[in-house]
Amino acid sequence: MSAMKYYEQLVDIGCFTVDDVANLTGNRETAYSTIKAYNKKGLIESVKRDLWVAISLETKQPVPNRYAIGSHAAPGAYIAYHSALEYHGIANLVYYEVYAASERRFRTFEHDGLTYTHVQSPIDVGVVNKSGGVRVTDLERTVLDGINDFSKVGGLEELLRSIALIPLLNSNKLLKYLAAYDKVFLYQKAGYILENFRDSLKLEDDFFKICKTGVTGSKRYLYPRLQNQSSIYNAGWALCVPKDLSTITRKGATYIE
């Protein structure tokens, strides 16, 4: 067997398991020997148990990026929350942690200076396949996930700064994902926050009308710690909110998850 017989194919795959190599070699015995030989030569590298990456001959770095590796952390895994903001190019903070959602939980692992962390998959729609073996939540799902859980997107300030960089959101997709979540509170929070970006995101009036359906007069806080901070009551959304949402995106402002 040529020392490089399967290397180019593994480069094309990027992330792979023993089963993937066995599909190339024809049997698992040859797969194991190939992995051992290639690992010894520095052509591949172990990420975690039964997950390997091809190493570039030019850069000596893994061929797949962090998002591709996270997408292979478990069967059906995909990039979510702040890592999805990063993938879409709208994050402001730099994270050395990669969030990957999947039905099957995986243990946190580290590779190449990054920590890969499992997060629960709240709904099962809004995930798209991208080049390089990346699976990631689309923009609409990413925004709603962040509104649902500020703590996983770096806080409200980070989320607002990210939303401000988005040129357009699809109202129908947002409503589809909100229906999947089926949480009145999320309709409230999403409607209130996105109303501040109504024009820039080109959101339709019907979107906000539907978000208000089911909203009662019962007072709720946009985030728990706001109970101990200065806030105002927004009757339209039945929410206690910061006095001026725009102020929390300014340098030095205090924000809460």
Q: Would you state the structure tokens that stand for residue 48, as one six-digit string?
A: 């975690």
Q: What is the pLDDT of residue 246?
A: 61
User: What is the structure's pLDDT at 216?
Assistant: 78
Query: Looking at residues 160-177, what average pLDDT do you find?
Result: 96
Between residues 250 and 84, which one has the greater pLDDT?
84
pLDDT, residue 110, reads: 97
Residue 170 predicted with pLDDT over 90: yes
Q: Which domains does the chain carry?
A: 7-54 (1.10.10.10), 66-249 (no CATH)
Residue 116: φ, ψ to 5°: -105, 120
* Percentage with pLDDT > 90 across the chain: 82
SS3 98: strand
Rounded Cα gap, residues 46 and 7, in angstroms? 15
Give, in order, the Cα–Cα distances in Å from 145 to each of 85, 142, 148, 183, 251. Answer: 11, 5, 5, 12, 24
What's the confidence (pLDDT) of residue 2?
57
* Segment 72-131, tens digit of pLDDT: 999 999 999 999 999 999 999 989 999 999 999 999 999 999 999 999 989 999 999 999
What's the pLDDT band for 255 if we cut at 50, 70, 90?
A: very low
Looking up tokens 């923009």, which residue turns up?
A: 139
pLDDT of residue 248: 61
Instruction: List the single range of 65-69, 100-104, 159-163, 240-244 with lowest mean pLDDT.
Output: 240-244
Measure CA 196 to chain center.
Answer: 23
Partners of residue 55 on adjacent β-strands: 62
pLDDT at 242 over 90: no
* Average pLDDT of the residues of the chain: 92
CA 227 to chain centre: 29
